[in-house]
Chains A and B, each alone.
Chain A
């Protein structure tokens, strides 16, 4: 133990941690119970800290009054595809950057890291013009391409770390046995690195799922909008319908929270996956 703790110290410590916990969890709790309140009781005094009757009316209203089902589907399609594509592309580049020395390696790594310091929305205007020229404005696949580019640098850096945990002798043995480099990568290395790859995929997915400004700029018709782009429309209206708004917020937060809870376990596994270390 660091040093024996007095009773007063204990009270301060657990009191502090308790307050932090309550304050952290409360906003989530509040949006959850708001979404399950009967629409009439959301705007009624006194405020209820526990819904008298649980109701799914807000969720029903959300799907009836807007195309929320379409937005969810769009978000799922865009995030799933973009995260998968980014993970595969990053797997290839991370492999090269982890295993080989070459003249321009530092430049490539530097170019990737610089994109992490500059926010993706800094060149929103010129990106919009580029996408117009490519006929990819208001096109979900266009957004996928942009998200892939957005995800590659950090994903490459993460996967590069995971590659360094796997000995090169593994794929070299496969190649001596007649595998090509590509099939050695996918048949031998990828199975060993599954936890790390899964964590990287989830990381990409959550980032794409949450992205706001690119989707707002590049998508404008309701049939193409993702959830953040749609929510941006909801909150721009003069009178926000907080009943369906809270339901929408819950539906967009919960998937990412579940994925992150899963991913954190994978990341721990990824770090301890050095079982084959030389």
Chain B
């Protein structure tokens, strides 16, 4: 590892440095010290993150079941083939799409509205933000448990409130009935994620120059026109990147489902990642690893295509806005 200094005067006497292709080189001693600083981080991440990841990839191509380790031979693409033929797995793929889209769209719309409402200063705005953003500190798993209790079919507060307001006559078994279980976990996830959007969008909105709004007002632009011609184009990049991050994150967050339904009833609320964890717990590491490989591969492909799609076209006049 060759270390060169960026932009500040050297600490070592000049004699110990030699120019290397235009860059100044640190003395061997300093390089060693800096290497020693990097080593612990690299060793930890290497052993406990990258080694399992890489050995997980090779496991995806083997017959590796903890319940019977007598034959761990290479099986090529068999694990992938079994999965694609597996009705259960296909169901979790469909559920994942419903889960991601169903959570993302309401999160985006409500988060956007909240950010617009919070843009204008008012008394106690700081306190309001602190209160509303508390779900951030709580794990998805515990959020799932909170909502499992509220959506309880017999003594849940959701049924009680709906019956009191005469929207339903008899209690709905939210989490026991396949028709309502997915809607219930999505409601919980929307609740959990709205504040993330609100924070990101609010931060972006505060970077939109005031003059743009003044100019729009002078030109007689109405509220809707201002929203679509000024606000949204100005924060377009933030919106697009936030959506990408959220898609990946929602797809990869089975904790809430584990806390709320455990994938039930009859696997109706399992998404790919929660099913993957269940298969791991059952001991079929080969098949679980194959799912892991597919998840990472598909999400990477998605990210690449998405980023290509949202890249600003050079032919369009670019607005000066917040990146």
Contacts and interface: CB of A to CB of B under 8 A. Distances in A.
Given A28-B134, A117-B299, A152-B44, A1 B141 contact: no
Contacts, number: 232
A261 interface: yes
A242 B118 CA distance: 36
A272 B285 CA distance: 48
Interface stretch (A60-68, A122-130, A189-197): A122-130
A124 B3 contact: no
Interface stretch (B87-95, B96-104, B289-297, B307-315): B289-297
B41 A100 contact: no
A34 B149 CA distance: 10
A228 interface: yes
Interface residues of A, number: 89
B240 interface: no
Contacts of B147: 27
B78 interface: no
B7 to A, nearest CB: 9
B119 A2 contact: yes
Interface in A200-229: 206, 210-213, 217, 228
Contact of A253 (B2, B48, B66, B138): B138
Contacts of B131: 21, 24-25
A188 interface: no
A172 B8 contact: yes
A261 B26 CA distance: 43
A117 B45 contact: no
B213 interface: yes
Contact of B11 (A176, A206, A264): A176
B114 A257 contact: no
Nearest to A147: B48
Interface string A92-106: 110110011111100
A242 B37 CA distance: 49
Chain A binding surface, main DSSP class: helix
B217 to A, nearest CB: 6
B50 A21 contact: no
A126 B292 CA distance: 11
Contacts of B53: 118, 122-123, 126
A187 interface: no
B120 A100 contact: no
B49 A150 contact: yes
Given A31-B149, A43-B155, A100-B6, A17 B59 contact: no
9 contacts: A2-B210, A17-B118, A24-B132, A89-B41, A92-B40, A100-B34, A148-B48, A256-B137, A260-B134
Given A27-B146, A43-B154, A95-B37, 20 more contacts: A2-B210, A24-B132, A42-B155, A47-B157, A111-B45, A121-B273, A125-B288, A126-B51, A126-B53, A129-B55, A149-B48, A149-B49, A172-B9, A172-B11, A182-B33, A210-B141, A212-B141, A212-B255, A217-B280, A256-B139
Interface of B: 1-6, 8-9, 11, 23, 26, 30, 33-34, 37-38, 40-42, 44-45, 47-53, 55-56, 59, 64, 66, 110, 113-114, 117-120, 128, 130-132, 134-139, 141-143, 145-150, 152, 154-155, 157, 160, 191, 194-195, 210, 213, 217, 248, 252-253, 255, 258-259, 262, 273, 276-277, 280-281, 285, 288-289, 292, 295-296, 299, 303
